[in-house]
Amino acid sequence: MEEYERKMSELTEGLERISLWLKKNRPDIASQLRPGLSREEIDAEAHILPFKLPEEIYELYQWRDGSSDNFLFERYDFMSLHAAVSAYSEQMSELRYNEREEVKFFEFSFPIFKLWYQGDVFYTIVPDKPGENIIRMFEE
């Protein structure tokens, strides 16, 4: 457990460094970060998912609940938990409806960021399975 707690504090420290940098260098973006959620709020929002969110995702959304009306990083939108859960549901519905092979690839993945690129939207995905590639792209 000690190793996990150390990792989590490193994540929190990194997120706080990002927050401080944004406040100093990009206050317009820093002001768009939504307040974090409680663990109970995260559980209530994520209860429809067919998997348990990794602890790192809990920590991320306890830090901040996405950004509003602005990209966190160039062309990347940090989705609120509600938007991410909705995007997951829509993505899975579309994949199942069209009987696409990617269903198994994305079924236990969770979108956090949207990349807006040349008029297309891609979701940046963090999988729930350890040892797999941590980023997956889904073209809408």
pLDDT in tens, 62-112: 999 998 766 656 667 888 999 999 988 887 777 666 666 665 666 777 788
| Domains, the chain | 2-139 (3.40.1580)
Give residue 67's pLDDT.
86
Q: In one letter, which amino acid is 114?
A: K
Q: What is the distance, to the nearest Å, from the Cα of residue 107 to the centroid of all Cα atoms in its chain?
A: 15
Give residue 99's pLDDT.
66
Residue 53 DSSP code: P
- How large is the average pLDDT for residues 111-121? 69
